[in-house]
Amino acid sequence: MGQTMARHLAQRAVLILTLAGVSLAETSPSSLKPISVPASGSWQGDDGQWSTFHVQVGTPGQLLHLLPGSSVQAGNAIWAIAQESCTEENPDLWNCEEQRGDVFSANESSTWLTSQVSNGSYYNLNPVIESMLGLNANASYGLDTVTLGTANGVLPPLPNQLVARIASNDFWVGVIGLSPLRLNTTGFDDPVRTLMGALSDPEGRKIPSTTWAYTAGSFYKDAPVFGSLTLGGYDSMRFDPNNSVSVPFSINPSQDLQINLQSITYNGTTTQSSSYLLTDTITAYMNSMINYIWLPPEVCDVFEAAFGLEYDEATEFYLMNDTTHANLLAENPTFTFTLGGANSTETATIVLPYAAFDLNVSYPHVNGSQRYFPIKRAQYISQYTLGRVFWQEAYVIADYDRQNFTVAQALFPSNSTPELVRILPPGASDSRDGGLSGGAIAGIVMAVLAVVASVLVVLWLLRRRKRRRQAQEGGNATTEIKHVPAAARAGEIDGQQIHEKSADGAPFDKQESEPHKAHTWETTEAQLAPPSELSTGQTPRSLHLETNWPRQFSELPAELPPVGEMEATRRDGA
């Protein structure tokens, strides 16, 4: 009867958990809030003033100023500028470390780990899309602790995050990789989770969903406005929802944020109506790791004619003299970019003032500092890019759970307090809409613990009763000792245990199922790094990136989740 009662209590515990749908190993998305990564309050860059964000790497934490990297292929790690970037690449550059957003010294971190990486941890970054624009670098990879924010951080430190130490001048400031796709190298035992992957992992997740939202900020405003980076949702104060467009990810996994650029027009003080700079639709890739806007040569020619720009073949920049700059200030044009999806009539118009294009470029591109107009001449359609210049006035929300993204006109509120809105993954319900509240979950857990405690008490009483009965019978019974063959005892010698084997002879507790790989590609062949770029005497290897999309692209909606799936929360928790 006692055993029947114990079994009944155990079944009740299982039933409670099953009916409640509660997994003690997973954190409910509806119980979490988005994270607003704090802007550093500084502006860095060799070709503009870009708002950076605080991230600590290592133990003790080394505070870095980094730029968000939206590239799904290249943004798979924290890119930290290495000390060699100043001591070897730019030994004569004044204030080099500060100009590059501070540097990371692996030797000063007690948690820097390279034992899981072969080839001396040395790899070619080989960013597929960025390399098409002439950008590349080599890196020394390792695992280390990462903290978002300054002293206390917006989250507890995240151990074993992938960090790439780079010294190349192609990427002047380090990067916060926003890609959720795991990175695989021939040296790692298993594919390594990215920062976004670690934050949104169902077991121990820290943010509601695999989403991020970003706008670059604007140095040119009367009161400069810093950039905004939100993980797991968005800041409703920073964009106009009535001037936005949502489109599905591209079927090209290395260019997920592709959008149709339908037209570019401008208005100035001397123009009576809008004048077209681009009339034929092109497909452009939105990439915050690129600073410029790459357009077809014929479109650049129209810009030249309209504003008196001159292309410098040596630097490949549209450098501006004082006369050209004065004329543009007098004309004060505003540029309107019309964006849309390939299979939708929905559009958004992103307006940029001339001030967004009024930038300076400096070393290592030119000697000193010189004004330039930040458009680039693309030779191939794969180079069409809306870079960080565009993101100054655009707000982008990328939802990797639904495989879509939204582009909206950015706003610049005087109140800097964010109004954070979480985005729940598909199928997740908000506790306010019939889901389990925190109190309900706590009650269920307490009930389960009570049932489990009852089971343990019953089992203890049964075991105690059995021992008493055996003790009473032991006085009259004769103990029979049987010989156990050595072969049968071999598994228990020296403290080892005998493991039950599967059909193929492998212990069940050693078997591992191979994760499904929806798509895997390998970057182009790695190139030998110059001696000054973190040289170890080894050839940098190429990297693999695994894209595990949850569903077929044809099944993915193109809109943000309805308002019922979102909840507005202030940063202060109110």
Query: What is the structure's pLDDT at 456?
Result: 65
Q: How many CB atoms lie within 10 A of CB 8?
A: 13
User: What is the band of 486 on the pLDDT scale with cuts at 50, 70, 90?
Assistant: very low
What is the average per-residue pLDDT within 392-403? Answer: 98
Does 211 have pLDDT greater than 60? yes
Task: Report the alpha-carbon distance of residue 161 to residue 357 in Å, rounded.
Answer: 36
Cα distances (angstroms) measured from residue 130 to each of 58, 74, 312, 526, 529: 27, 8, 22, 14, 17
3-state secondary structure of 124: strand
Q: How many CB atoms lie within 10 A of CB 172?
A: 22
Query: What is the structure's pLDDT at 446?
Result: 60
Residue 189 DSSP symbol: S
Task: Report the alpha-carbon distance of residue 256 to residue 135 in Å, rounded.
Answer: 19
> Positive or negative CA dihedral for 126, 128, 130, 131?
positive
What is the average per-residue pLDDT within 528-550? Answer: 48
User: What is the band of 468 on the pLDDT scale with cuts at 50, 70, 90?
Assistant: low
Between 130-134, 167-171, 247-251, 514-518, the lowest mean confidence (pLDDT) is in 514-518
Which CATH code fits 237-425?
A: 2.40.70.10
Phi, psi of 493 (to 5 degrees): -75, 145
Residue 560 DSSP symbol: P
In SS3 terms, 380-419 reads as: CHHHCEECHHHHCCEEEEEECCCCEEEEEEECCCCCCCCE
- Please give the full DSSP string across 205-220, using - where no structure is assigned: -SSSSSEEEEE--BTT
Q: Which amino acid is at 148?
A: L
Q: In sequence order, what are the residues at sequence separation of 6 or more whose Cβ sits closer than 8 angstroms to the Cβ of residue 379?
A: 297
List residues bridging with 397 in a β-sheet.
213, 406
User: What is the band of 384 on the pLDDT scale with cuts at 50, 70, 90?
Assistant: very high
More confident residue, 519 or 426: 426
Do 318 and 311 contact (CB within 8 A), yes or no? yes
Phi, psi of 339 (to 5 degrees): -115, 150
Residue whose entry in the numeric block shows the structure tokens 């014929």: 298
pLDDT tens readout for residues 32-81: 999 999 999 999 999 999 999 999 999 999 999 999 999 988 888 999 99
Do 70 and 286 contact (CB within 8 A), yes or no? yes
Which among 111, 201, 121, 209 has a CA at the least distance from the CA of 161? 111
The overall average pLDDT reported for the chain is 79
Query: What is the structure's pLDDT at 298?
Result: 98
Residue 497 DSSP symbol: -
What is the average per-residue pLDDT within 95-105? Answer: 96
List residues bridging with 404 in a β-sheet.
248, 399
Q: How many CB atoms lie within 10 A of CB 514?
A: 5
User: What is the band of 560 on the pLDDT scale with cuts at 50, 70, 90?
Assistant: very low
Q: What is the distance between the terminal CA atoms of the chain, rounded to a whole angstrom?
A: 53
Phi, psi of 259 (to 5 degrees): -145, 155
Query: What is the structure's pLDDT at 512?
Result: 33
3-state secondary structure of 301: helix
Query: What is the structure's pLDDT at 440?
Result: 46
Which among 291, 261, 7 has a CA at the least distance from the CA of 171? 291
User: What is the band of 9 on the pLDDT scale with cuts at 50, 70, 90?
Assistant: low
Task: Report the alpha-carbon distance of residue 461 to residue 465 in Å, rounded.
Answer: 6
Do 79 and 171 contact (CB within 8 A), yes or no? yes
What is the average per-residue pLDDT within 250-266? Answer: 94
User: What is the band of 516 on the pLDDT scale with cuts at 50, 70, 90?
Assistant: very low
What is the average per-residue pLDDT within 313-326? Answer: 97
Element (H, E) at 334: strand 334-340
The encoded tokens of residue 165 equal: 């130490």
Do 53 and 229 contact (CB within 8 A), yes or no? yes
Antiparallel, parallel or unpaired: β 62-69 and 175-177: parallel
Give the predicted TM-score (pTM) of the model. 0.75
Task: Report the alpha-carbon distance of residue 91 to residue 85 in Å, rounded.
Answer: 8
What is the average per-residue pLDDT within 272-294? Answer: 95
What is the average per-residue pLDDT within 479-485? Answer: 34
User: What is the band of 28 on the pLDDT scale with cuts at 50, 70, 90?
Assistant: confident
Task: Report the alpha-carbon distance of residue 181 to residue 377 in Å, rounded.
Answer: 31
- Ranked by mean pLDDT, which of 16-20, 500-504, 567-571 comes out on top? 16-20
Task: Report the alpha-carbon distance of residue 41 to residue 54 in Å, rounded.
Answer: 9
Between 112-126, 235-249, 347-361, 493-507, the lowest mean confidence (pLDDT) is in 493-507
Do 107 and 20 contact (CB within 8 A), yes or no? no
The encoded tokens of residue 362 equal: 């400096």
The encoded tokens of residue 71 equal: 């590239």
Q: In sequence order, what are the residues at sequence separation of 6 or more whose Cβ sits closer than 8 angstroms to the Cβ of residue 3?
A: 462
Residue whose entry in the numeric block shows the structure tokens 């000697």: 367
Fold of 34-210+546-562: Cathepsin D, subunit A; domain 1 (2.40.70)
Query: What is the structure's pLDDT at 8?
Result: 57
Between 68-77, 199-208, 437-446, the lowest mean confidence (pLDDT) is in 437-446
Does 351 have pLDDT greater than 90? yes
Q: Is 516 left (phi over 0), alpha (psi -120 to 50) or beta?
A: beta
Cα distances (angstroms) measured from residue 460 to each of 8, 456, 471: 16, 6, 17
Query: What is the structure's pLDDT at 538?
Result: 56
Task: Report the alpha-carbon distance of residue 168 to residue 137 in Å, rounded.
Answer: 6
What is the average per-residue pLDDT within 453-464? Answer: 64
Task: Report the alpha-carbon distance of residue 478 to residue 249 in Å, rounded.
Answer: 77
The encoded tokens of residue 201 equal: 């992992």
Query: What is the structure's pLDDT at 102?
Result: 97
Cα distances (angstroms) measured from residue 508 to each of 102, 336, 495, 503, 522: 49, 62, 19, 10, 33
Does 20 have pLDDT greater than 80? no
Query: What is the structure's pLDDT at 470?
Result: 57
User: What is the band of 254 on the pLDDT scale with cuts at 50, 70, 90?
Assistant: confident
Q: Which residues belong to CATH 2.40.70.10 in the chain?
A: 34-210+546-562, 237-425
Query: What is the structure's pLDDT at 502?
Result: 36
Task: Report the alpha-carbon distance of residue 59 to residue 570 in Å, rounded.
Answer: 31
Does 188 have pLDDT greater than 60? no
Task: Report the alpha-carbon distance of residue 312 to residue 377 in Å, rounded.
Answer: 11
